[in-house]
A and B are shown apart, each in its own frame.
Chain A
Amino acid sequence: MTQSAVRPTPASPTPPGGHLLEVRDLHVEFRTHEGVARVINGVSYHLDAGETLAVLGESGSGKSVTAQAIMGILDTPPAHVRSGQILYRGRDLLTQSEEQRRQVRGKEIAMIFQDALSALNPVFPVGWQIGETLRQRQGMSKADARRRAVELMDLVKIPAAAKRLGDYPHQFSGGMRQRVMIAMALALDPKVLIADEPTTALDVTVQAQIMDLLADLRRDLDMAMILITHDLGVVAGVADRIAVMYAGRIVEHADVRSLYRSPAHPYTKGLLESIPRLDVRGQALSTIKGLPPNLMRIPSGCPFHPRCPYVQQVCVDVVPHDLVLGDGRTSACHFAQEVRDDSAR
């Protein structure tokens, strides 16, 4: 049912010092009184300094859970990490103590969330919330933390930052709130920024501004970024590589250009065909039939088979392994070659 082999993820050679962040064969399940939901089933991916990895998938594909596992902020119970490794600078975070992991949060790896209104504490001013990280983690004085908070708010381009320090989250617009969230995540100069659907709750015009800001900040501050999204359109201009997730595993992994040009997994292909394109006239938009799988009863063989147009008997019986295609791409599909060739046509 699960892929047991632990392989280094492809698409780029392992640098001499190892990857900055690497997830290896992660398994996470949720134990509820209704049963056990296998949410993550052998996810592996990595991130090198200075690059942006996009993790793409529908809600329920496990992309956010993987990120929360990296941060160590899964709610346990019901979540349990069954097996796997999360290596940061070569050390496995999963074997570290809670105190060691707490030190990593915010300082090494920081995270911003989808809905900034609920992710910010409603009863404290934003300046206080940004400064809290500095006071608590770096022992900064109140005045210094204030000053630094203004700098951070300037950095994320919040107008009149000094004046807005005492305002509460609900007094900001959606886009400005997300900027506050970003400022807070940047407080301790993290090396990795995980952005969990940072623009989903925002208007389209604001979405672009926030994505640009994130891309600029990543470059200027020399961070690495994991961008979690379900929106293929958001990814294109920002990411270097894309990992596509389905039912708690990575089904396709490639650099952005090749993935867009010739998806090698039927699921990715379906996703790409379901977004309207400006350059093709009169194109019929297709949708992926069916629903995402019930994680308590994941279909046998390839979990995508009930929805797959390429389905054959082998898909029902055998779990597909990652097929390594050229350019270091992988696709977990028995017919990866055919799909890619179809797409390229």
Chain B
Amino acid sequence: MFRYILRRLLQMVLAFFGTTLIVYALMFAGQGDPIQALAGERPVTAAQRAYLTEKYHLDATGVGGFFYRYFDYVKSLLQGDLGQSLTGRQIGDILQAAWPVTVKLALIALAVAIIFGVTAGVIAGIRRASIFDNSTLVLTLLVLGIPTIVLAPLAQYFLGVKWQLFPPTAGSEPTFYALLLPGIVLGSLSLATALRLTRTSVAENMRADYVRTARSKGLVKRRIVSVHVLRNSLIPVVTFLGVELGNLMSGAIITEGVFNIPGVGFNLFRGIRTEDGPLVVGIVSVLVVVYLVSNLVVDVLYAVLDPRIRYE
């Protein structure tokens, strides 16, 4: 188990440097005017130019200069210093205000996925080829095939604006109720994936040899399903949900943008819209780290759940 975690940790460190290097290189390497690249088509004031040059050590040149600047960037990133956005605000402050909202939204989405997706998946897996199973398969396919940029605005229009069942936008201090619709929209994709994964996993385990053994021990069916089958089936599902939490936190760009939820994704959305380069780089860097860490956590979780990996 220790070796397994150590290996995953090393992989994560490699992936961290790999990804941040790519992010950094793409933003700055071989650019005519890196500052203009950060600012996009927006005019840059002299003060901003001076700040960015100093912040990113843009006066250091060449390959050596590039790596000097890259490590400087990584150092600040690890220290939590993300610099200023073009609007002059500390990116760290922006994120600090935005995180709680994003986490809340992601948790709602995850809860939706677990409550409906996993439950329905277990039922579908036990009753394979039943009407319930076939209809959930078609429904989930529909959900998986409809992009968020369709689902979010349409849900907002029909459920928020037209029928007024939910508040159409969240505003600056969103309540739980205001986050519910965005949470469902955000979670629907995870719900569909979780449902299909659970179904496949349960169905596969239902025909596993150890189920036959459990039956020959004379156990009641209820116990065979709820203890033997579930414990095995949920290993990949829990793993998926862990990765998904990481995805949800970094993947809420569209949902937060559409519903005006002042979370991390919304700030990234706004950063892209307003061509605020430093804000985009800062947020993307942090999200990449979140994503990598959540993957690591999931790997550890996997080892805890599956003894075959624990004692590798």
The stretch of B47-55, B111-119, B206-214 that contacts the partner chain = B206-214
When the two chains form their complex, are residues B208 and A168 in contact, meaning their CB atoms are under 8 A apart? no
Closest CB in chain A relative to B236 CB, distance in Å: 12
CA of A110 to CA of B220 in the docked complex: distance in angstroms?
15
CA of A115 to CA of B212 in the docked complex: distance in angstroms?
12
When the two chains form their complex, are residues A171 and B311 in contact, meaning their CB atoms are under 8 A apart? yes
Q: Which of A73, A102, A122, A187 contacts B212 (CB 8 A)?
A: A73
Nearest neighbor of B232 in chain A, beta-carbon distance: A123
Closest CB in chain B relative to A100 CB, distance in Å: 11
CA of A118 to CA of B232 in the docked complex: distance in angstroms?
13
Which residues of A are found within 8 Å of B305, using beta-carbon distances? 123
Counting CB contacts under 8 A, is A71 at the interface?
yes
Nearest neighbor of A99 in chain B, beta-carbon distance: B220
When the two chains form their complex, are residues B216 and A122 in contact, meaning their CB atoms are under 8 A apart? no
Which residues of B are found within 8 Å of A104, using beta-carbon distances? 218
CA of A131 to CA of B213 in the docked complex: distance in angstroms?
14
CA of A12 to CA of B159 in the docked complex: distance in angstroms?
79
Q: From residue 173 to 190 of chain A, which have CB atoms closer than 8 A to chain B?
A: 181, 184-185, 187-188
Nearest neighbor of A171 in chain B, beta-carbon distance: B311
Closest CB in chain A relative to B229 CB, distance in Å: 9
Nearest neighbor of B219 in chain A, beta-carbon distance: A136
Q: A118-B210, A121-B210 are in contact. Are A132 and B217 (CB under 8 A)?
A: yes
Q: Chain A 152-188 against B: per-residue CB contact (8 Å), 1 yes, 0 no?
A: 0000000000000000101100000000010011011
CA of A117 to CA of B209 in the docked complex: distance in angstroms?
9
Q: A118-B209, A121-B228, A168-B311 are in contact. Are A105 and B306 (CB under 8 A)?
A: no
When the two chains form their complex, are residues A133 and B212 in contact, meaning their CB atoms are under 8 A apart? no
Closest CB in chain B relative to A74 CB, distance in Å: 10
Which residues of B are found within 8 Å of A71, using beta-carbon distances? 215-216
When the two chains form their complex, are residues A105 and B231 in contact, meaning their CB atoms are under 8 A apart? no
When the two chains form their complex, are residues A184 and B217 in contact, meaning their CB atoms are under 8 A apart? yes
Counting CB contacts under 8 A, is A219 at the interface?
no
Q: Chain A 194-227 against B: per-residue CB contact (8 Å), 1 yes, 0 no?
A: 0000000000000000000000000000000000
Interface centre among A113, A123, A184, A187 (most CB of B within 10 A): A123
How many A residues have CB within 8 A of the partner chain?
A: 33
How many B residues have CB within 8 A of the partner chain?
A: 23
Q: A118-B209, A170-B311 are in contact. Are A123 and B306 (CB under 8 A)?
A: yes
Counting CB contacts under 8 A, is B290 at the interface?
no
CA of A170 to CA of B311 in the docked complex: distance in angstroms?
9
When the two chains form their complex, are residues B218 and A105 in contact, meaning their CB atoms are under 8 A apart? yes
Interface centre among B209, B214, B216, B305 (most CB of A within 10 A): B216
Closest CB in chain A relative to B216 CB, distance in Å: 5
Q: Which of B213, B219, B223 contacts A120 (CB 8 A)?
A: B213
Counting CB contacts under 8 A, is A320 at the interface?
no
CA of A310 to CA of B306 in the docked complex: distance in angstroms?
56
Q: Chain B 66-78 against A: per-residue CB contact (8 Å), 1 yes, 0 no?
A: 0000000000000
Counting CB contacts under 8 A, is B145 at the interface?
no
Q: Which of A103, A105, A115, A170 contacts B209 (CB 8 A)?
A: A115
When the two chains form their complex, are residues A107 and B218 in contact, meaning their CB atoms are under 8 A apart? yes
Which residues of A are found within 8 Å of B64, using beta-carbon distances? none
Interface centre among B208, B217, B307 (most CB of A within 10 A): B217
Q: From residue 110 to 138 of chain A, which have CB atoms closer than 8 A to chain B?
A: 110-111, 113, 115, 118-124, 132-133, 136-137
Closest CB in chain B relative to A152 CB, distance in Å: 13
CA of A190 to CA of B216 in the docked complex: distance in angstroms?
12
When the two chains form their complex, are residues A73 and B308 in contact, meaning their CB atoms are under 8 A apart? no
Which residues of A are found within 8 Å of B306, using beta-carbon distances? 122-123
Which residues of A are found within 8 Å of B228, using beta-carbon distances? 121, 124
Counting CB contacts under 8 A, is A34 at the interface?
no
Q: Which of B207, B217, B220, B232 contacts A106 (CB 8 A)?
A: B217
When the two chains form their complex, are residues B219 and A122 in contact, meaning their CB atoms are under 8 A apart? no
Which residues of A are found within 8 Å of B215, using beta-carbon distances? 71, 73, 105
Which residues of B are found within 8 Å of A113, using beta-carbon distances? 209, 212-213
Which residues of A are found within 8 Å of B219, using beta-carbon distances? 102, 132-133, 136
Counting CB contacts under 8 A, is B235 at the interface?
yes
Nearest neighbor of B305 in chain A, beta-carbon distance: A123
CA of A82 to CA of B283 in the docked complex: distance in angstroms?
67
When the two chains form their complex, are residues B308 and A168 in contact, meaning their CB atoms are under 8 A apart? yes
Q: From residue 245 to 304 of chain A, which have CB atoms closer than 8 A to chain B?
A: none
Nearest neighbor of B209 in chain A, beta-carbon distance: A118
When the two chains form their complex, are residues A75 and B207 in contact, meaning their CB atoms are under 8 A apart? yes
Which residues of A are found within 8 Å of B232, using beta-carbon distances? 121-123
Nearest neighbor of B216 in chain A, beta-carbon distance: A111
Which residues of A are found within 8 Å of B307, using beta-carbon distances? 122-123, 168, 170
Nearest neighbor of B229 in chain A, beta-carbon distance: A121
CA of A99 to CA of B220 in the docked complex: distance in angstroms?
8
Which residues of B are found within 8 Å of A111, using beta-carbon distances? 216
Q: Which of B209, B220, B308 contacts A119 (CB 8 A)?
A: B209
CA of A225 to CA of B223 in the docked complex: distance in angstroms?
28
Q: A118-B209, A124-B231 are in contact. Are A105 and B216 (CB under 8 A)?
A: yes
18 contacts between A and B (CB under 8 A): A73-B216, A102-B219, A103-B218, A106-B218, A107-B218, A110-B216, A113-B213, A118-B208, A118-B209, A122-B306, A124-B231, A133-B218, A133-B219, A136-B218, A137-B217, A168-B308, A184-B213, A185-B216
Known: A120-B210, A121-B231, A133-B217. 17 other contacts (CB 8 A): A71-B216, A75-B207, A102-B218, A104-B218, A105-B218, A106-B218, A110-B216, A119-B210, A119-B213, A122-B232, A123-B235, A123-B306, A136-B218, A136-B219, A136-B223, A168-B308, A185-B216
Which of B's residues lie within 8 Å of A, judged by CB? 207-210, 212-220, 223, 228, 231-232, 235, 305-308, 311
User: 4 shortest A-B CB distances, which residue pairs?
Assistant: A105-B218, A106-B218, A118-B209, A121-B210
